[in-house]
Amino acid sequence: MNTVAPPNASLRMDLDRVLFTEEEIAARLDKMAESITRDFEGGTLTVVALMHGGLFFVADLLRRIDLPLRVECLSVASYHGGTESSGRVTLLQNHLPELAGENILVIDDILDTGRTLHAITNRFRESGAPNRMKVGVLLDKKVERAHEVDLDYTGFEIGNEFVVGYGLDYRGLYRNLPCIGVLKPDRIDTPLS
Ligand code: 5GP
Ligand code: MG
């Protein structure tokens, strides 16, 4: 049999398990994009993409949406390098996009403690009322939240484990894996303290 090694084969070797394949993600994005197109039909959309985790998700999702739309990217950090949320949400720019009167869709890679999306959506509400604001994530991690966040669009639900791939990183690496999975334990450094 003629077997060809997939691209990123050596990166995939660092995974213990694949949770969602590239094909499963693509099929799910088709459905999410359909709902978004239907919900905002007749309007213009402003998508606020949280970087860097949302990078691949937003690029693939937006190309499936049949609406006039603009994209704003915001850089936020809450993990600061490890596998545990730090509890602090750092917005890495001073100016928020002007969103009063807009139809906004905030997109993040994953909802975990809820701190990031809670902080961002609150900032938007305070800084001039958007017309409509909806929130979408690729992954909804089923854990106890520090802040409740109402999700309008969810790709997949996952348990309480640290995942990488398709934009999600560990210490800045693994974002370019086309699938989403869990790292082998020996790929994760023991925290220093
Ligand atoms: P929250 O503020 O909801 O606790 O966390 C959201 C952010 O933490 C996400 O945008 C993401 O950057 C990061 N995060 C949460 N869980 C995971 C995970 O399992 N893997 C990775 N790579 N990042 C995560
Ligand atoms: Mg993030």
Catalytic residue of the set 30, 112, 140, 189: 112
Peptide linkage before 52 cis (omega within 30 of 0): yes
How much is the pLDDT for 193?
42
The 3-state secondary structure of 128-155 reads CCCCEEEEEEEEEECCCCCCCCCCCEEE
Q: Tell me whether residue 108 is one of the annotated catalytic residues.
A: no
| 46-93: pLDDT as tens digits | 999 999 889 999 999 999 999 999 999 998 877 555 666 666 677 777
Chain centroid, CA 173 distance in Å:
16
Find out whether 164 and 183 touch, Cβ atoms under 8 Å: yes
Q: Among residues 135, 143, 138, which one has the least CA distance to residue 180?
A: 138
Cβ burial, residue 53 (10 Å; 0-12/13-18/19+): buried
Ligand nearest to the CA of 160: 1
How much is the pLDDT for 5?
73
Span from the CA of 75 to the centroid of ligand 2 (angstroms): 8
How much is the pLDDT for 166?
97
Span from the CA of 2 to the centroid of ligand 2 (angstroms): 39
How much is the pLDDT for 130?
84
The angle subtended at Cα 153 by Cα 126 and Cα 130, nearest 5°, is 25
Instruction: Mark the ranges of the chain whose per-residue pLDDT is less than 50.
Output: 192-193
Closest residue by CA, ligand 1 atom 5: 112
Instruction: Say whether 62 sits in a helix, a strand or coil.
Output: helix
Closest residue by CA, ligand 1 atom 16: 112
Ligand nearest to the CA of 145: 1
Span from the CA of 109 to the centroid of ligand 2 (angstroms): 6
Q: Among residues 78, 71, 152, 155, which one has the least CA distance to residue 119?
A: 78
Q: Please give the Cα distance from 126 to 46 (Å, whole number).
A: 17
No. of helices (H) and no. of strands (E), the chain: 4, 9
